[in-house]
Amino acid sequence: MSFAVAMHNVSFGYEASTPVMQLKELQIERGKRVFLHGASGSGKTTLLGLIAGVLLPQQGTCEVLGQELTQLSLSARDRHRGSEMGYIFQNFNLIPYLSIKENIELPCRVHAKRLKRITSSSLNEEVVRIAERLDLREFLHRGVTKLSTGQQQRVAIARAIIGQPRLVIADEPTSSLDIDRQERFLHLLFEACDEARATLIFVSHDRSLMTHFDERISIAEINQVRS
Amino acid sequence: MILLQLAYKSLKSRIVTTALTVFSIALSVLLLVGVDRVRQGTQAGFSGTLSQTDLVVGARGGSLPLLLYAVFHIGTGTNDISYASYQHFRDHSAVQWTIPISLGDSYHGFRVVATDDNFYEHYRFRRDHSIQFASGSRPEGIFDAALGNEVAASFGYKIGQKLVLSHGLERVSLLNHADKPFTVVGILARTSTPVDRSIYITLYGEEAMHIDWKDGTPPAIGEETPAAKITKENLHIDQISAFLLRTKSRVSTLLLQREINTYKGEPLTAIIPAYTLQDLWSVLGYADVALSLVSTAVLVVGLVAMLIALYTTLNERRREIAVLRALGLHARQIFTLFVLESTLISAAGTMLGLAAIYGLLWLFHNPIEARFGIPLAMVGISKRVVLYGAGVIFAGALLGCIPAMRAYRRGLIDGLNAY
């Protein structure tokens, strides 16, 4: 069994003396849709930072997509993240001075690996194809600020899955959407991840979404640091 | 390449701030280069006060006072020189021409210069400009006078105007040559040199005013020779203040200077005006340094404005930095992005400033030379200007490092978490 994420005996603190996250074991299988549940302050963002390789644990091992992050340099981790992971924030996902199209194609422009994995014959066609799937075709050449929050989050999906990353991390992506739109957003996100054959790590404090996922992990339970 | 595009689009999205910042840097560059060009022009104009004169000769004394009274008509010489000595060197085999100058009288603060036809023939300034007449002709008769352009303009005098010259240099003179008025026969064209502020008469005129004078005092009332009775034949010129000299070959200048300085007949001083002008300029150079300092200060203000403009956007851009980090941009690339932005701004400002100053120079160099006598050379781009341009862009890039450094740190500390 290969894991997308495998962490052992990890300890991390923003200051080395006061750890905010300690976990014995976290394993996420490849291709799974995983729901990470956590209230605010439970260490969600810290955990995602560790998986994404922005933060480095003081102790333990953290293997993501076959790469042991603790043995990579800072810039190698940045490259690893950019070429293998898609990231969706709660809001303000987009670069305000780029058009929708430019936002979507950005990962492929920054990372050659992502560009190589597109299925269409050109980046332009790939952007159009993905935009069509996510109902964004008509917005491609608009500015970011013209879109509603729901539309912006769909652009964020498009940008996260272009160039078929092997892992998609979504950090509270639905919390600024109303309930109807949450369902639709999840549906689109799952479709997009399936198509890219990406593992999905979905973080939310909203337990009502839990049922849609293969696996559910409570951060509060695995984190041994009590706040 | 993608970073350059990002930097460009980011600046474009903040078009008003960017334009204002570019504009303020352009203005600084314009001022800096403009001051430099004007400075160079002023220096060229100053050293062009007198051209083609190889030696200025006067009574034994300092070289600076000689230049000041003979060329700028400021102050007086300690002694006159005899006309015989003048004639000796006028007829010297190495000499091409000489211009005699006799000073001592004034008209409401403007100096009266007595000279001869050689002045109108040979006097040159700013390389090859010669004396031209705005109206009238050169003084021929004993009581004829030609006015410098500024003199004529400040009194509104025309041809035919009568002048009563004063003895000495005081603005309000106790001794007026009221019995021997002069008539304006010519008005000189503008030269933007001390010539404009002088009144030119003949050597005979100078002599005629002082006929019957003994040891600096006028004759008793009623004893003057009436002006009508004076002719060139009964005037005898024995002294002049100084003379300008041109050698037949530049090579003989130093030899002749030596010969004059060691002349047995009379203690004389000969100076090479170009050197003394340079000395004088280095004294006046303080003003020029002050001007350069002010324009440098303006440049600093322009650059600081850019720093502020970039720095204040940093907070709004934390989110953007986090997104770029999530997309796999290294913190170093974010640093580069910010430095690129500041470099683009300062480069655009420099280009705009240079274009503006050269446009202005092109438009105004003729009127400025005519009005102020400052020859603004339209030479391409001097080394100094290239240095300024490169310096401004480099300073912009360097200042950009401050917000860039902060963005870099934030990129690392905030990570993906910047709400």
Indicate whether B307 belongs to any domain.
Answer: yes
pLDDT at A150: 85
With CB atoms and an 8 Å threshold, state whether A93 touches B323.
yes
Contacts of A109 in chain B (CB under 8 A): 2
Indicate whether B261 belongs to any domain.
Answer: yes
What's the mean pLDDT in B80-84?
93
Whether B193 and B118 share a structural domain: yes
The nearest alpha carbon in chain A to B414 belongs to A54
Q: Is the pLDDT of residue B418 over 70?
A: no
Q: Which of B13, B16, B327, B409 to mutate to probe the A interface, most A CBs <10 Å?
A: B327
Contacts of B417 in chain A (CB under 8 A): 45, 49
Per the structure, the count of domains in chain A is 1
Summarize pLDDT for A28-56 with one digit per residue, the tens.
888 889 999 887 777 888 888 889 888 88
B213 φ, ψ to 5°? -75, 145
For Cα atoms B229, B230, B233, give the angle at the middle one, nearest 5 degrees: 125
Indicate whether B278 belongs to any domain.
Answer: no
Confidence of residue B240 (pLDDT cuts 50, 70, 90): very high
Contacts of A75 in chain B (CB under 8 A): 330, 332
Indicate whether B142 belongs to any domain.
Answer: yes
CB B143 within 8 A of CB B204: no
CB B34 within 8 A of CB B371: no
Whether B111 and B205 share a structural domain: yes
Catalogue the E-assigned strands of chain A.
3-12, 21-29, 33-37, 59-64, 67-68, 85-88, 167-171, 199-204, 215-218
Exposed, middle or buried: residue A53 (CB in 10 Å: 0-12, 13-18, 19+)? buried
Q: Is the pLDDT of residue B61 over 60?
A: yes
Whether B234 and B374 share a structural domain: no
pLDDT at B173: 64
Q: What sign does the CA torsion over B29, B35, B41, B47 have? A: negative
B239 φ, ψ to 5°? -140, 150
DSSP assignment letter at B225 = P
Which letter, b or e, does each residue of B360-374 get, where b requires 16 or more Cβ atoms within 10 Å of its Cβ?
ebeeebeebbeeebb
Q: Is the pLDDT of residue B364 over 70?
A: yes
- Tokens 């930097």 locate to B7
pLDDT at B366: 81
Summarize pLDDT for A130-187 with one digit per residue, the tens.
888 888 888 888 888 888 888 888 899 899 989 889 999 988 888 888 888 888 888 8
Supply the DSSP string of A49-112, one letter for each residue: HHHHTSS--SEEEEEETTEEGGGS-HHHHHHHHHHHEEEE-SS--S-TTSBHHHHHHHHHHH-H
Q: Is the pLDDT of residue B417 over 80?
A: no
Indicate whether A140 belongs to any domain.
Answer: yes
What are B386's two structure tokens? 């290239």
Q: Nearest to residue A161, comparing CAs of A212, A87, A92?
A: A87
* CATH number, domain with residue A128: 3.40.50.300
Chain A nearest CA to B363, separation (Å):
39
Whether B104 and B196 share a structural domain: yes
Range(s) of the domain holding residue B71: 55-271
Reduce the DSSP state of residue B140 to 3 states and report it: coil
Whether B39 and B62 share a structural domain: no
Whether B204 and B115 share a structural domain: yes
With CB atoms and an 8 Å threshold, state whether A54 touches B319.
no
CB A48 within 8 A of CB A202: no
A17 φ, ψ to 5°? -80, -25
Domain boundary (B239, B271, B303) is at: B271
Residue A109 has its nearest CB partner, among B2, B417, B419, at B2
pLDDT at A1: 53
Contacts of B322 in chain A (CB under 8 A): 89
Summarize pLDDT for B198-226 with one digit per residue, the tens.
999 999 988 888 887 777 777 777 777 77
Whether B91 and B63 share a structural domain: yes
Q: Nearest to residue A212, comparing CAs of A186, A193, A194?
A: A186
Confidence of residue B49 (pLDDT cuts 50, 70, 90): confident
Residues found in chain A: 227
d(Cα B53, Cα A179) in Å, to the nearest integer?
Answer: 95
With CB atoms and an 8 Å threshold, state whether A78 touches B9.
no
Q: Nearest to residue A168, comparing CAs of A133, A136, A197, A188?
A: A197
Whether B115 and B18 share a structural domain: no
d(Cα B221, Cα B212) in Å, to the nearest integer?
Answer: 11
CB A199 within 8 A of CB A215: no
Is residue B6 within 8 angstroms of chain A, CB to CB? yes
Whether B209 and B321 share a structural domain: no
d(Cα B317, Cα B117) in Å, to the nearest integer?
Answer: 77
Indicate whether A9 belongs to any domain.
Answer: no
Q: Is the pLDDT of residue B119 over 90?
A: yes
pLDDT at B157: 92
pLDDT at B379: 55
Which letter, b or e, does each residue of A154-165 get, where b requires 16 or more Cβ atoms within 10 Å of its Cβ?
bbbbbbbbbbbb
Q: Is the pLDDT of residue B344 over 60?
A: yes
Summarize pLDDT for B259-305 with one digit per residue, the tens.
999 999 999 999 999 999 888 888 877 877 888 888 888 888 888 88
Chain B nearest CA to A208, separation (Å):
24
Contacts of A115 in chain B (CB under 8 A): none
Q: Is the pLDDT of residue B71 over 80?
A: yes
B125 has which bridge partners? B129
Indicate whether B277 belongs to any domain.
Answer: no
Is residue B409 within 8 angstroms of chain A, CB to CB? no
- Order of strands across the sheet that contains A85-88: A85-88, A167-171, A199-204, A33-37, A215-218
CB B277 within 8 A of CB B67: yes
Which letter, b or e, does each residue of B393-405 get, where b requires 16 or more Cβ atoms within 10 Å of its Cβ?
bebbbebbebbbe
3-state helix, strand, coil in chain B (%, to 5): 55, 15, 30
Q: Which of A75, A89, A108 to mutate to probe the B interface, most B CBs <10 Å?
A: A89
Per the structure, the count of domains in chain B is 2
- Mean pLDDT estimate for chain B: 87
Is residue A108 within 8 angstroms of chain B, CB to CB? no
DSSP assignment letter at A197 = T
Range(s) of the domain holding residue A162: 33-58+74-222
CB B197 within 8 A of CB B150: yes
With CB atoms and an 8 Å threshold, state whether A78 touches B323.
no
Is residue B324 within 8 angstroms of chain A, CB to CB? yes
- Backbone φ/ψ region at B109: left (φ over 0), alpha (ψ -120 to 50), beta: left
The nearest alpha carbon in chain A to B14 belongs to A97
Indicate whether B144 belongs to any domain.
Answer: yes
- Tokens 């310096």 locate to B391
Residue B325 has its nearest CB partner, among A54, A83, A90, at A54
Summarize pLDDT for B121-162 with one digit per residue, the tens.
999 988 888 999 999 999 999 999 999 999 999 999 999 999
Domain boundary (B271, B301, B319) is at: B271
pLDDT at B131: 93
Confidence of residue B87 (pLDDT cuts 50, 70, 90): very high
ipTM: 0.89
Q: Nearest to residue A169, comparing CAs of A77, A49, A2, A1?
A: A49
What are B349's two structure tokens? 């400002």
Summarize pLDDT for B3-43 with one digit per residue, the tens.
888 888 888 888 898 899 899 889 988 988 888 888 888 88
Q: Nearest to residue B322, comparing CAs of B199, B417, B194, B386?
A: B417
First to last CA, chain A: 34
Indicate whether B298 belongs to any domain.
Answer: yes
Indicate whether A93 belongs to any domain.
Answer: yes
pTM of the model: 0.74
Contacts of A45 in chain B (CB under 8 A): 416-417
